[in-house]
């Protein structure tokens, strides 16, 4: 599909195989996912991707961006994430052949297309969100926000602690000094025996040590910057806690906290493969370098409204950014809850687990138009409320007490109980059903783009399964 007067692409003819004895249309079900995507992708606005190719005159015509987008979306939907595996499937799999026709990209083309256009998929995400809304799959009755750890493309064996770096830096400096003295002695001997020589060539051994020393010094600077940022955040947290105690008149419990340290501990680590990732505790009690993938999910059909990835191990600082990201996505997609009779925009109930709670998180959610239900402590399963919990004796003073009282009410318990049935199954569908357990790209920017692509295809699968009637012009059969 060539834009009028625009760049000429290689011909994309998915109908090519319709004339073959092994045509996908004769072998695959009529309502197969691949035919759904072949119908949906041409309706998407891919102008930002097309624009990249308009002024390019070198080389052979590129593959049609619509075909490449359709190929990536289908591959991620069915759990094929590697560019080599996608290219292999284009040679053997009927569904993939239905997309590419006779023009089959190699794995380098697929990999480069994905890397070069990750940002453009942000607009595609919004367009798919509009489709979900039109299909009746988004109603903003209740949303849930949560995070899941996803392993990064970085090995634990390519990491080093701050204490070991300091020792290694001292050792390398000593070896470099020794090698420099040896080089000077060799230069003097050569000058005496052979006359003048250039003398600016570094021995390979010296160059390797200098390169390694530079890498270690850069890694130490990263850890020192992270330690300073953590110290600043701890100062702010202590100041907020002190202000809350002064407001309520309560005394500090336990011992006085120790002094804030701005230098890294000896055990602080950084990774040389992908220094933007942090070491995180995983569900199997192990430790891996990875990202904390966040998702905001609508309760109607588990459509992902917004997504993000952070290098922070815990979720406490993520409530405000996710509230802002969700509001921005809803506004971009033109999705808003129905106005009340008074004309005011109603608050959208938002449920989050105890890892997100803070007074600042509650205020941030309310500013963005959400009604927060955030657990203030770990919730016990299958335990009914006590009489004192159901009817608080005193008027709550702090944000934490107010939220605890809110969740103790019958309506509050009912809203919060939906959280685990809204967002947690989404991570199961992504990790277990589709097998996405590790990022392929490196660097937080690319990782965020890859997670967006995963969430985008999750929504497409929901539309296909529950709202496929929308493609034929009727409402979603799932919604009564």
Instruction: Return the pLDDT at 473.
Output: 46
Query: Is the overall model pTM greater than 0.85, yes or no?
Result: no
Instruction: Return the pLDDT at 3.
Output: 60
Instruction: Return the pLDDT at 474.
Output: 38
Instruction: Return the pLDDT at 329.
Output: 93
Instruction: Return the pLDDT at 382.
Output: 52
Instruction: Return the pLDDT at 479.
Output: 37
Instruction: Return the pLDDT at 31.
Output: 86
Domain boundaries, the chain: 14-117, 129-154+274-471, 158-271
Q: What is the pLDDT along the chain (480 residues), one digit of tens a residue?
A: 556 556 677 777 766 655 565 677 778 888 899 999 999 999 999 999 988 888 776 767 888 899 999 999 999 999 999 999 999 999 888 899 889 888 889 999 999 999 999 999 999 999 999 999 988 899 888 999 999 988 887 766 666 666 666 776 677 677 677 777 766 666 666 665 555 545 555 556 666 767 766 766 776 677 777 777 777 877 887 787 778 777 777 777 777 777 887 777 776 767 666 676 777 777 666 777 788 999 999 999 999 999 999 988 888 889 999 999 999 999 999 987 754 444 467 889 999 998 899 888 999 999 999 999 999 877 665 555 554 444 455 566 688 888 889 999 999 999 999 998 999 999 999 999 999 998 888 888 999 999 999 999 999 999 998 865 544 443 343 333
Instruction: Return the pLDDT at 475.
Output: 38
Instruction: Return the pLDDT at 71.
Output: 95
Which CATH number is associated with domain 129-154+274-471?
3.30.420.10
Q: What is the 3-state secondary structure of the chain? A: CCCCCCCCCCCCCHHHHHHCCCCHHHHCCCCCHHHHHHHHHHHCCCHHHHHHHCCCCCCCCCCCHHHHHHHHHHHHHCCCCCHHHHHHHHHHCHHHHHHHCCCCCCHHHHHHHHHHCCCCHHHHHHHHHHHHHHCCCCCCCCEEEEEEEEECCCCHHHEEEHHHHHHHHHHHHHHHHHHHHHHHHHHHHHHHHHCCCCCCCCCHHHHHHHHHHHHHHHHHHHHHHHHHHHHHHHHHHHHHHHHHHHHHCCCCCCCCCCCCCCCCCCCCEEECCCCCCEEEECCCCCEEEEEEEEEEEECCCCCEEEEEEECCCCCCCCHHHHHHHHHHHHHHHCCCCCCCCCCCCCCEEEEECHHHCCHHHHHHHHHCCEEEEECCCCCCCCCCCCHHHHCCCCCCCCHHHHHHHHHHCHHHHHHHHCHHHHCHHHHHHHHHHCCCCECCCCCHHHHHHHHHHHHHHHHHHHHHHHHHHHHCCCCCCCCC
């Amino acid at each position: 599909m060539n834009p009028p007067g625009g760049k000429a692409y290689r011909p994309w003819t998915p109908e090519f195989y319709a004339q073959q004895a092994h045509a996908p249309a004769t072998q695959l079900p009529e309502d197969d996912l691949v035919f759904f995507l072949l119908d949906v992708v041409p309706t998407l606005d891919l102008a930002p991707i097309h624009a990249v190719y308009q002024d390019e005159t070198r080389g052979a015509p590129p593959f049609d961006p619509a075909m490449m987008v359709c190929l990536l979306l289908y591959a991620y939907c069915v759990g094929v994430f590697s560019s080599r595996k996608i290219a292999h499937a284009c040679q053997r799999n009927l569904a993939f052949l239905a997309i590419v026709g006779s023009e089959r990209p190699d794995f380098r083309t697929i990999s480069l297309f994905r890397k070069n256009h990750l940002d453009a998929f942000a607009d595609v995400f919004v367009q798919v969100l509009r489709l979900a809304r039109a299909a009746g799959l988004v109603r903003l009755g209740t949303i849930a926000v949560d995070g899941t750890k996803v392993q990064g493309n970085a090995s634990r064996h390519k990491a080093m602690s701050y204490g070991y770096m300091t020792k290694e830096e001292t050792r390398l400096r000593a070896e470099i000094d020794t090698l420099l003295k040896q080089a000077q002695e060799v230069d003097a001997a050569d000058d005496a025996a052979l006359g003048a020589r250039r003398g600016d060539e570094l021995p390979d051994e010296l160059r390797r040590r200098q390169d390694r020393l530079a890498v270690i010094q850069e890694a130490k600077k990263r850890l020192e910057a992270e330690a300073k940022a953590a110290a600043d955040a701890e100062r702010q947290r202590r100041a907020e806690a002190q202000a809350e105690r002064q407001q309520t008149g309560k005394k500090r419990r336990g011992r006085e906290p120790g002094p804030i340290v701005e230098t890294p501990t000896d055990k602080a680590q950084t990774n040389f493969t992908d220094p933007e990732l942090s070491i995180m505790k995983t569900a199997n009690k192990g430790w891996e370098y990875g990202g904390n993938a966040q998702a905001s999910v609508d309760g109607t059909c588990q459509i992902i409204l917004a997504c993000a990835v952070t290098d922070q191990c815990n979720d406490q600082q993520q409530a405000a950014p996710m509230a802002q990201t969700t509001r921005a996505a809803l506004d971009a997609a033109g999705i808003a809850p129905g106005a009340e009779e008074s004309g005011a925009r109603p608050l959208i109930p938002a449920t989050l687990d105890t890892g997100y709670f803070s007074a600042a998180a509650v205020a941030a959610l309310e500013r963005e138009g959400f009604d927060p239900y955030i657990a203030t402590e770990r919730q016990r399963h299958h335990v009914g409320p006590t009489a004192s919990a159901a009817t608080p004796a005193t008027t709550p003073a702090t944000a934490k007490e107010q939220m605890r009282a809110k969740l103790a009410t019958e309506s509050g318990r009912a809203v919060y109980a939906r959280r685990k049935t809204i967002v947690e199954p989404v991570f199961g569908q992504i990790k277990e059903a589709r097998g996405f357990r590790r990022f392929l790209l490196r660097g937080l920017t690319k990782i965020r783009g890859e997670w967006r692509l995963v969430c985008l295809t999750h929504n497409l699968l929901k539309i296909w399964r529950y709202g496929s009637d929308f493609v034929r012009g009727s409402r979603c059969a799932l919604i009564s």
